[in-house]
Chains A and B, each alone.
Chain A
Amino acid sequence: MEKEDIRKELKVSAIENGTVIDHIPSQSVFLVMKILNLTKYPDQLLFGNNLDSRKMGKKGIIKVSNKFFQSDEINKIALVAPTATLIIIKNFQVVEKKKVRIPDFADNIVKCFNPNCITNNEDIPTKFTVINKKDLKLHCHYCEKITARENITFLE
């Protein structure tokens, strides 16, 4: 991490144990919280947005106390925040740092782009296979149509 970044990050206080999700594109911070189900998180949750970042211009950061995510769970956020990094904190120390990876499957987070898809017409969870990670293309398990990055919207 850049020195400058560390200084700026101090605006959001440190956590003792838990996960820091850094380098989130500013427009995606709230979406990331929604995808990870953090809006009703009962323990300490800190976040900052529109923080200066040398790499990204502006960025968001989320710090979740006493929470260690499963990799499938965290990889879902790669669909909206491909730049995000994940920092595992134990005893105020960084024990692991990694980048999120776009998952092979996306279940019930993205809406199918096809208005005539059964998932947009009945109460059915969506299911996609990620067929292209670079350009982000999702193949709907039901209607078999492709939802591309520019058409992605997230389920409410």
Chain B
Amino acid sequence: MKNKSLVSINDFTREEHVRILELAGAFENRPKQKILEDFVVATLFFEPSTRTRLSFESAATRLGARVIGFTDASSSSVQKGESLRDTILTVSNYCDIIVMRHPKEGSARFASEVAKVPIINAGDGANQHPTQTLLDLYSIMKTQGTLDNLNVAFVGDLKYGRTVHSLVMALCNYNTTFHLVSPLELKLPSSVKLSIKERNLEYHQYTDLQEVIPKVDILYMTRIQKERFSDPLDYEKVKNAYVLRNNMLGDSRSNLKILHPLPRVNEITTDVDDNPKAYYFTQALNGVYVRQAILCAILGVVD
């Protein structure tokens, strides 16, 4: 993985994903190791995402790296009309690796083609966010002890959620049975379903959340955004149908864990937070270990 950019989840092989998860486990046991003291990490956030940026910066600084960068485009030369190519070429001179988030799809791929240093994509528009996918895989692995043969439910906006699309694609490597719960307007796109079909994996589609809960090992919740509906009345009809409440978890499996990419709005009520099956805050913490693993693997300080 040394010097390889991570733009799309498929840039790394299944074996490389597994290696990242192993390394993340090692960082979870020893999060503070000064093994990146000689490195400079640039975090270029062309659009703000405090959560993701802090997670990367925490990962880098816990390993002793120095972090430079900007937190949104308005505080950088981008606002003066500098091209992405020029920004990337310039910043490449100052650092060993670039973590970037950009509102346009394909920006990270383009950056990886012009940069002299590797690029980690921290989100390019609605396209890819591979470190989120890896931290999701890590969370599933840690809570279930395996990635193989699990029943995973995805709930909410399956049409526009890039997190859902890349996690579905990644899980296609592990003989997953998919349970897809969404309003009809927000079903998983056929291009993503095609990846499931190509692997001859099982998937089931539902509009009702309750009936799925007893069947699954992982319940991956997402937010349904009002803007996604052309008719606001359609949103009003479904907005409460995909809310998880603690009293719905009675029949759930003992190993069930609830995941959510955060931030949550109201799709998981706060009474779920105290249920030991709620895992979303730990999931966010796992992001730091996974990003430590990715930084070290790409910078070549671990094999």
Out of A141, A143, A146, name the residue touching B125 (CB < 8 Å): A143
8 Å CB interface, A79-123 against B: 112, 114, 116-119, 121-123
Quick check: A121 and B104 within 8 Å, CB to CB? yes
Binds A, one of B106-114, B152-160, B219-227, B262-270: B106-114
CB distance from A62 to the nearest CB of B (A): 34
Quick check: A142 and B191 within 8 Å, CB to CB? no
Quick check: A143 and B85 within 8 Å, CB to CB? no
Residue ID in chain B nearest A146 by CB atoms: B191
If A116-B125, A116-B126 touch, does A144 touch B83 (CB 8 Å cutoff)?
Answer: no
- A residues near B (Cβ < 8 Å) are 112, 114, 116-119, 121-124, 140-146
8 Å CB interface, B78-127 against A: 83-85, 102-107, 109-110, 124-127
Q: Which residues in A have their C-beta under 8 angstroms from that of B128?
A: 144
Give the one of A118, A140, A141, A144 with max B CB within 10 A: A118
Out of A117, A118, A140, A144, name the residue touching B84 (CB < 8 Å): A118
Q: Which residues in B have their C-beta under 8 angstroms from that of A140?
A: 106
B292 within 8 A of A: no
Q: Which residues in B have their C-beta under 8 angstroms from that of A123?
A: 83
Quick check: B105 and A117 within 8 Å, CB to CB? yes
Count class of interface residues, chain B: 10 to 19
Residue ID in chain B nearest A119 by CB atoms: B106
Out of A121, A122, A124, A143, name the residue touching B127 (CB < 8 Å): A143
Closest 4 CB pairs of A and B: A142-B106, A143-B105, A143-B106, A118-B106
Out of A124, A145, A146, name the residue touching B105 (CB < 8 Å): A145
Quick check: A114 and B83 within 8 Å, CB to CB? no
Q: Which residues in A have their C-beta under 8 angstroms from that of B126?
A: 116
Q: Which residues in B have their C-beta under 8 angstroms from that of A141?
A: 106, 109
If A117-B104, A124-B110 touch, does A144 touch B85 (CB 8 Å cutoff)?
Answer: no
Quick check: A122 and B109 within 8 Å, CB to CB? no
A143, B107: Cα distance in complex, Å: 8
A124, B109: Cα distance in complex, Å: 12
CB distance from B100 to the nearest CB of A (A): 12
Residue ID in chain A nearest B125 by CB atoms: A116
CB distance from B127 to the nearest CB of A (A): 6
B8 within 8 A of A: yes
Residue ID in chain A nearest B10 by CB atoms: A144
Q: Which residues in B have their C-beta under 8 angstroms from that of A112?
A: 106
Residue ID in chain A nearest B106 by CB atoms: A142
